Structure 1
């Protein structure tokens, strides 16, 4: 997708939302400074919450009708491609505010990225919240504003949602579920099973920042290292990559399980062997030091603004240059390749000491509640 197509997608998204008239006048106002069970009970308190917090922040013609579903013209969606992409995810991160973001920003970025890595133009999101009784309304407003700001920056609309309130200690402050809809351009056919011998493995920058930032934010280690989450929407970077390398085989955002899990998924699905190089894999010294203290492997740390791309060798340099020209790809690197004749399903790393080590699929969960 070129720049003109990208801008058309943003304009088109506005047009699609405008097809739904804003027929409802809002006038509910919250009085209580904290969330109570009544705010999830379906009555006036709940309507005031929806009006004063959610509609106030997310307002658009489709959402403001407050129907049980959002409605779109199929002919309008078809302008952007021939396949509909849909995804869903839930966010239970602890803590809900962390260096570089918060649970609201994370929810939008994660959903946008899950659509974009399949070659889709993200258009619409849903938002369902499970809120713990006693949560400060000011905290909820801060999260919702973060979601609204991130959605606006990503050019997507939150068009429908749901609110539930549970008793104290029934959840930890707030859990968020989102779903997203996008449209895939007919030229893009990406898949983990499409890697071929000689393909290059690209990443768009420093790995493991999110996982290290969250663990550090929990305060157990009392470290002062300035590690921030890389949480960011990657759709524009992905469009840039696909324009430069239209025959890209596969893209995946490396969230839970890190790049190690993504590489193993590719190796298994494509029945190929993958080799990466430790000296070419970008990891901050702070993150390496953090992992050494805790006995963690940064290849398995979660990311929320990093992707792994499998690109044909003859397009890899163009892809890398284009990614480096984008703000979210400044430190992009070519970290390895698909090996001809290697053991199918195997991923290994050439270490800085000249040896090799197996990079296996993560067993269990390295860090709980990381996203």
Structure 2
């Protein structure tokens, strides 16, 4: 057996072990769906592992990556889909249309793919203002144009009043995986460095402030952005020394890192002082009793890289407009697999778990 076949066999074995571990960690005990099942945290994983994963199980889905990577002939493609139900529809830094385009592009980017084509499925509620629909569609068109992708197919449905909430959007996307990209959670190994491309919590806090009309004097805007050019810059610089990318959206950085730790059978040690958080987000979290590491982001990535590539990767990220605040925030370890630990500002250490509950439903 050649080296590549041996590596593929080891990866598949690790995926199967992670799948078994998830079955023991996540339990679906609910009789009805709740808002927490859409939070991206433990309840979401309980729903996925209890209902969807067993029903649809296959070697591609079982990897549980942000996008499915498939091979057609000699071409590797990434394929993904996502739905957007954010409330409110318009917020500081973006709107549901811009978010729908960026979110799907970013899922493709996490597979190391250059996005090519998107679809747009739109569900409208009877009575929804045409003015708002035009604004959202124009925003989607601009976001797609800026990212260099085409929206090539779609579908529209209308339901009766009170049977939806204005507008819901589904986008699916296809991208071409770069030759230098060999990425996946199962490839993360002890010694890898964890890099974060910028500040955390901006999107979730922007949504909360817009929705609740809280009397908090701070200016926070969503970080919604298309990350494929940032990923391209990173791959161009360090190539196969980049092992995995994660998009810390629902459930935030904490949930994304726990997913990796479980799938890769490793632990992750973070340094709280190294994690960038804007003062407006930090202040809002303190007032509201939230942890910025569990708050959604829509324009940030986590990168797991070989230790010798740490400084090169950091320079590549910081040279890009979307990575100026990039930082090395942690290290992958072998001990206590499946766990994430946070070294706090005051010198202690605590377990950083997945998001539990649902402090902010419908953030994307």
Give the equivalent residue in structure 2 for 1:149.
142
Distance in 2, matches of 1:296 and 1:156, equals 36
Q: Is the 8 A contact 1:257 1:366 kept in 2?
A: no
87, 96, 108: which is aligned to 1:94?
Answer: 87
Mapping 1:259-338, distance limit 5 Å: 259-338=253-332
2:96 to 93, 97, 103: 103
Deviation of 1:79 after TM superposition, in Å, equals: 11
Does the CA-based 8 Å contact 2:255-2:355 persist in structure 1? yes
SS in structure 2 at match of 1:354: coil
- In structure 2, C-alpha distance between the alignment counterparts of 1:360 and 1:277, rounded to whole Å: 15
> How big is each residue's C-alpha offset from its partner over 1:265-304, in whole Å with a ceiling of 9 and x where there is no partner?
1111111111010110001121111111111111000000
1:81 positional shift: 6.8
**Residue in 1 that maps onto 2:191:** 198
Whether the 8 Å contact between 1:80 and 1:185 is mirrored in structure 2 is no
Shift, 1:100, TM fit: 0.1
* Cα distance in 1 for residues equivalent to 2:174 and 2:130: 29
Mapped contact 1:112–1:122 kept (Cα < 8 A):
yes
Cα RMSD between the aligned structures? Answer: 1.7
Report if the CA contact (8 A) 2:180-2:235 is conserved.
no
CA contact (8 A) 1:117 1:251 kept: yes
Q: 1:214 & 1:264 partners in 2: Cα distance?
A: 24
Deviates more, 1:130-139 or 1:357-366: 357-366
Q: Give the Cα–Cα distance (whole angstroms) in 1 for the partners of residues 357 and 209 of structure 2.
A: 21
Residues 146-191 of structure 1, C-alpha deviation per residue, up to 9 Å, x if partnerless?
0000000111000000011111111111000010011112331111
Partner of 1:232: 225
How many residue pairs align between the two structures?
Answer: 294
Give yes or no for contact 1:118–1:251 (8 Å, CA) kept in 2. yes
C-alpha deviation, 1:124, in angstroms: 0.3
TM-superposed CA distance for 1:210, in Å, is 0.3
Deviation, structure 1 residue 222: 2.6
Give, in whole Å, the separation in 1 of the partners of 2:236 and 2:326: 16
- The change in CA–CA distance for 1:250 and 1:222 in structure 2 (over 3 A counts) is same
- Equivalents in 2 of 1:364, 1:289: separation in Å? 22
Q: What corresponds to 1:65 in structure 2? A: none
Aligned-partner Cα distance in 1 for 2:238–2:180: 12
TM-score, normalised to structure 1's length?
A: 0.77
**8 A contact 1:245–1:319 mirrored in 2:** yes
TM-score by length of 2: 0.78
Aligned to 1:176: 169
Match in the other structure for 1:140: 133
> Helix, strand or coil for the counterpart of 2:304?
strand
2:119 and 2:324 map into 1 onto residues whose CA distance is 31
8 Å Cα contact 1:258-1:299 kept in structure 2:
yes
Q: How does 1:347-358 map to 2 (within 5 A)?
A: 347-358=340-351
Structure 1: 5+ residue runs without aligned partners?
1-77
* Greater relative contact order (Cα < 8 A, sep 6+): 2
Counterpart contact for 1:87–1:111, Cα < 8 Å: yes
Conserved in 2, the CA contact under 8 Å of 1:81 and 1:183?
no
